Chains A and B, each alone.
Chain A
Amino acid sequence: MSLRLSGAGLQHGNGVHALRGVDLHIAAGERVAIIGPSGAGKSSLLGIMASALRPTSGDLQLLEEDPWRLSSRARQRLRSRIGLIHQAPPLPPRQRVVTAVLAGRLGQWGLGRSMVNLLHPLDIPGARAVLAQLDLADRLFAQCQQLSGGQLQRVGIARALYQDPSLLLADEPVSAMDPVLADHTLRVLCRHAESRGVTLVASLHAVELALAHFPRIIGVRAGQIAFDRPAGEVDPELLDALYANEQLVSPPLPTASMELQIPRC
C-alpha cells in the first residue's frame, strides 16, 4: 500500500470545504490520473498526498506512515521519499537549471554536501541524464529565468525524477506544454514510474492525456470523488457529468516577479 485516505476532509480557514469524506487506496506501483473541473479540489487532494496540507478530518497513510503523527524530523525523512511536481515550478529565477535539478536530493543529502553543491554542482552527469530524458540537456547551465513556461515545467519534473521518490505526485505537470510535448513528457513520467515501481499520481485537465497514459482514473468534483475506475471504463457520459456547468477558465499561472528598488538618501 502506497497511499491510503479514509474519510479525509479539508476545510480552509475561511470555512470553505475543499475536500470532504475522501476514501482512496492507491497500491504501490500504480499509476493514477486525477481529473475534474477547476476548483474541484484536485490540487488540495495532491497537497494532502504530498503532506503539504494537513487534512482537517479523517486518516492519512503515506508509504505506511501518518506524516502528521511523526516528529518533524521523521516527517522530513518521509517527505524525502515523496516527490511533488508543481504546476508552476517554484524555482528561483536566477538559479541555474543544474542546481535546481540537483536540489531534488536535498532531503537525502547532509547539510555539508548541500552547501558545497550550491557552490559547485556535485553531480553534473546525473542532472544531465535526467534532463536528457526530457530533451532539455542543452539548457543544463542556463538560468531558470531564461526558460519558457514549458521548459520550466520540465525542469520541475527533472528535479522530481532526480529526487527518485517512491511516491511521485504531479499537479498539472504538462499544463504549459504543447500537445506533442505534453504527450512525450507524460510518457517519460510513466516510463520512469513503471521501470522503478514508483507510484505515480497526476492531476490533469486534459482528459485525453489522462485516458491515454494512465490505467486508473479518478474523477473529482466539488471536493468529493465522483468516480474511480479503470481508464477503459470511463465513458463520455461520466465525463459529461463530471464537467457539467464548468466555466471554461484556465487556471492563471502565477509568475514570480523580481523587482529591484533602491531607496534614496
Chain B
Amino acid sequence: MRRTVNLLLLLATLVAVVASFVYLGLDLLFLGQADNLRQMGAYAARFLQPDLSQTQLLAVGRGALETLAMSALGTLLAALLGLALALPAAGRFGWPARALVRLVLNALRAIPELVWAALMVLAAGLGPNAGTLALALHTAGVLGRLFAEALENTPTAPAEAIRLQGGGQITAFFYGTLPNLWPQLLAYTLYRWENNIRMASVLGFVGAGGLGQMLYISLSLFQEAQASTVIIAMLLLVLAVDALSGWSRQQWVRGA
C-alpha cells in the first residue's frame, strides 16, 4: 500500500515537472544552442572585469554600510514593535486582543519584505528609509510571533513571586520574566538580523536603497563592470555574515 502511494507520488512529481516545462514553454535546447550560449557567454564576460576604481569602491562601501544600517535599524525597530505586539499576542491582555494581534502579526509576516518595500516606496518615497520600514514591518510579524511563543513558554513562577511580595505588574515582568526571556529574544533577533542583511541587499531592486539599488541602476545603464563590483560586495557581505553567524553559534553552543 505504502509502496504504491509512494510510487504514485513519484509519478505525480514527474508529471508536475514535465507539465511545468511545457506550461512555461521552456526550451532548454533553444537556450543551449551555440549561438545563444555564445551570447550569454559574452554577456557574462563583461562581468569579469569589475570596476575597482576608487570612486566605485567608495560608492560600494557606502552602499554596503547603508545596507547594514538598514538591516540593523529595521531589525531593531522590528524587535521593539514585535515585543510590544508579543505581549498581547501571548494573551497578557485578554483573548480579544490576543486574537486581533495574532491576525495582525500573521498579516505582517505573510507579506514578503520585497512587497512591503514596494508598498513603502509608494508611501515614503525612494531610498533606504523605505527599505528600513519594509524590513521592520515584515520582521515585526516574524519576531512578534516568535516572541509570543517564547513568552508563553517562559516559567511564570519568578514573576508570580515578585507579585506575591507586593511588586507591580511591570516590575514583575522586568524582574521575573524578562531575565529568563531575553537570551531567547536576543537569539531570535540576531537570527533575523542575519536574514535581513541578505534581504536588505536586494530590497533596492524596487528602489528601497542599499546595494540593491546600485546594482539595479548599474545594470539598467549597462555598466556591467560597476555591477560586477556591487555583486562582489554583496557576496562578501553574505559570506562575512555567514561566517560570523556560524562562529557565534559555535560560541553559543560551547558557552551554553
Contact = CB atoms under 8 A, between A and B. Distances in A.
Contacts of A118: 174-175
B183 A95 contact: no
A262 B187 contact: yes
Query: Which of A51, A77, A256, A262 has its CB near the most chain B CB atoms (within 10 A)?
Result: A262
B26 interface: no
Interface string A77-116: 1111111101001111111000100011011110100110
A107 B256 CA distance: 33
Nearest to A78: B166
A142 interface: no
Interface in B179-209: 179-180, 182-184, 187-188, 191
Contact of A260 (B155, B158, B184): B184
Contact of B165 (A92, A94, A106, A111): A106
Query: Which of A86, A163, A165 has its CB near the most chain B CB atoms (within 10 A)?
Result: A86
B146 interface: yes
Contacts of B158: 90-92
Given A111-B168, A118-B174, A106 B180 contact: no
Contact of B162 (A94, A103, A258): A103
B179 A94 contact: yes
A52 interface: yes
B183 A103 contact: no
B161 A262 contact: no
A57 interface: no
Contacts, number: 97
A50 interface: yes
Contacts of B174: 114-115, 118
A263 interface: yes
Nearest to B156: A90
Query: Which of A81, A92, A109, A111 has its CB near the most chain B CB atoms (within 10 A)?
Result: A92
A36 to B, nearest CB: 23
B166 A107 contact: yes
A52 B162 contact: no
Contacts of B179: 92-95, 99
Contacts of A160: 165
A44 B170 CA distance: 27
Nearest to A263: B146
Contact of B166 (A91, A108, A258): A108
Given A86-B161, A92-B180, A163-B165, A106 B187 contact: no
15 contacts: A51-B164, A79-B164, A80-B166, A84-B161, A86-B161, A92-B176, A93-B180, A106-B162, A106-B168, A114-B168, A165-B165, A256-B157, A260-B183, A260-B184, A263-B191
